[in-house]
Structure 1
């Protein structure tokens, strides 16, 4: 685990909010399935593994970055079988080696946090502390994931199957004590036990092209900043713009949607991705903002309403279309210890955007075309406009390192 202490103190945008405990056990029962590179694994490799060891954006990125680290270690020693000596129960009497040979990877992640707000804050009647706005808040996540490399299992080259689930518990300090839109922790989520992801991926053209179809969490592939993941604040994962402007934040932690994702990598420098997904994972027309009629007070972020088991598969509001183009500057060699020439400082430049075809409430005009909140506004009901879009850019660039 990287130096959590330094990262924790870098994280806080609030001078009076203190982290009491962050504890986690990652990969408690892992074997290893190679399959095709995840987006986090590809970025880590192109950046010469100079990003954080564990990307603590949300449990899904923790899982993918942990697997990427194990893949890099296995490749470095030239062995497809990972070293499990530092994992809980070790090799489990040979069971993990057997599963690895057959392409089966089973992980159980456990993340538990205890946060405290010492003073100030915003009182909430649901905060478990009589609406004081201060006090502790615990949240926890258990996420089992089964991944199968079908080439190793049945000889289907380039096929990967993945299914995962979530058990979410505790309370959100952001929701109960702070009343802010940007959660302090990337692990906060409304309580439920639910399906998370269920997808199949097939690669073509020797791995240059792959297609993923099924229930997906898009924030493990789009809008990722690897160097930004040095910080714990959730805004360094799926950022605020899509979180507050899409239904329930879109298909991002802890929600996923039916989607098809296409990724094409003609070379190590260029990557193109496109996904078409259901834009509204829980199927709720209203979310937590007053302009959309308040939503459900028992589930303020509308993550679970009508979709408590994660299998609603809503198709009733619109489609989210998202694309991203990546350019890698100075991709690093696999083994930096044997380089004879400085490969240059690595960087990844990303340009992307999304368009949502659904209707959204207007923040300026009511259903009669009058300015909301003005003297002429007699209804207070926003009009609904078709379409919602965003364009974004991300730069991860190393600017200095000691001479090689």
Structure 2
């Protein structure tokens, strides 16, 4: 996931550099000094083993489906290897990671929203996530990665997912609902290949092709249950292709910014959300929607640091972020998504690793989908869902952070949940509070 990256990104650690293009810095573990010595010794040989655990408690205080309190947790284990050190193959890297997911979903039991209140909630399972090889080319200016890949580790990312807990800041609701089976994003991954090219420090381009489905023979079912342990490796489905261009720059006195443009395209058939093949309303005939050729989405991202304190390190300062995304309304349940927010990182001299973040997002349900629900007999159709989140990230030790989140969800699931199209349940605005503790080992 993306999730592994998002959880680990908020951790500040110090340690001995591994001196390898494949391996990151060894993060010191205050909990197990002997383990740290063992990890450093293996890193010198070209193998890095890491782990993190995130545990969280969420409470839906009002609105949504019902008041609820839940606990969920994620253990993320990863191994990376420098195959040049191990086997003499220059520029070849290996990565694999696995999740142990447990607990309850505050979204399923409390809010009922389109956007999952927690970015680590998922069906309980022990599952393989990514496993891939990456070959560096042209002195590091390009690389090819192939294996089982998660798109949300590299595409449409901003720093918001490092500081805000709702899942939409990582893999947004529009791609979670519009791509087949939710797409290759936490907790799922799919076989694929990715090419990245970075001709200069200010510009890069990535393109990837994934198998179009993350589970086999799973039409109309939960793909997480169909591929419970992540070891099916489905192949042969129409591909999901993603491409992204990034331009990096600086404003004024060293204020970094990045602008991204991207798109995704699925070449398989999709169904019209309102009309069947005969042009009749699917809510009246009960037939499948008319087949449509392929599907696609477009997006743009902007992240800009607008102020840094004197002597700032890393992400310290005030950073603005925004994303907008769109998809055809006749093909998709969601046709527009927008978000914006601000991150205040390291602004308290005595707490240089703490951060406050605020984000607001808007998810629009396509008018064609809404019109179908109104005609089906509901007195009012769904329209949009919107979310505001405020978080404080407290860095307690080098490998321990505590994040507290307050979320307010307007019109969960568009205002209604349709357990039966002629008996919609009205959902009131939801108020959620949660705390996540993350340990890195």
**TM-score over 0.5 (shorter chain):** yes
Q: Secondary structure at the match of 1:259?
A: strand
Q: CA contact under 8 A between 1:57 and 1:232: conserved in structure 2? A: no
TM-score (norm 1): 0.70
Q: CA contact under 8 A between 1:139 and 1:188: conserved in structure 2? A: yes
Provide the C-alpha distance between the structure 2 equivalents of 1:117 and 1:139, rounded to a whole number of angstroms: 14
Q: CA contact under 8 A between 1:85 and 1:91: conserved in structure 2? A: no
Partner of 1:60: 5
Q: CA contact under 8 A between 2:192 and 2:211: conserved in structure 1? A: yes
Structure 1: 4+ residue segments shifted above 6 A: none
Partner of 1:89: 32
Provide the C-alpha distance between the structure 1 equivalents of 2:41 and 2:3, rounded to a whole number of angstroms: 30
Deviations 1:249-269 (A, max 9, x none): 100000000000000011110
Q: Secondary structure at the match of 2:285?
A: coil
Partner of 2:285: 378
Listed as ranges, the matches of 1:176-191 within 5 Å are: 176-191=109-124
1:312 aligns with 2:219: no
Provide the C-alpha distance between the structure 1 equivalents of 2:267 and 2:117, rounded to a whole number of angstroms: 30
Deviation, 1:93, is 7.3
Q: Secondary structure at the match of 2:307?
A: coil
Structure 2 gap segments, 5+ residues each: 312-441
Q: Secondary structure at the match of 1:381?
A: coil
Provide the C-alpha distance between the structure 1 equivalents of 2:259 and 2:40, rounded to a whole number of angstroms: 38
Partner of 2:298: 391
Q: Secondary structure at the match of 1:279?
A: coil
Choose the corresponding residue for 1:360, options 270, 274, 278.
270
Q: CA contact under 8 A between 1:200 and 1:214: conserved in structure 2? A: yes
Q: CA contact under 8 A between 1:352 and 1:391: conserved in structure 2? A: yes
Q: Secondary structure at the match of 1:330?
A: strand
Partner of 1:250: 183
In structure 2, relative to structure 1, the CA distance for the partners of 1:346 and 1:57 (3 Å cut) is: same
Range moving further from structure 2, 251-260 or 228-237? 228-237
Higher relative contact order (CA 8 A, sep 6+): 2
Provide the C-alpha distance between the structure 2 equivalents of 1:268 and 1:73, rounded to a whole number of angstroms: 25
Provide the C-alpha distance between the structure 2 equivalents of 1:210 and 1:147, rounded to a whole number of angstroms: 16
Could you say what the CA RMSD is over the residues aligned between the two structures, in angstroms? 2.7
Partner of 1:350: 260
Q: CA contact under 8 A between 2:16 and 2:40: conserved in structure 1? A: no
Partner of 1:98: 41
Provide the C-alpha distance between the structure 1 equivalents of 2:195 and 2:297, rounded to a whole number of angstroms: 20
Provide the C-alpha distance between the structure 2 equivalents of 1:243 and 1:84, rounded to a whole number of angstroms: 32
Choose the corresponding residue for 1:116, options 53, 59, 62.
59
Listed as ranges, the matches of 1:164-313 within 5 Å are: 164-227=97-160, 229-284=162-217, 286=219, 295-296=220-221, 302-313=222-233
Deviation, 1:213, is 0.3
Deviations 1:233-291 (A, max 9, x none): 211101111100112210000000000000001111011000000121023553xxxxx
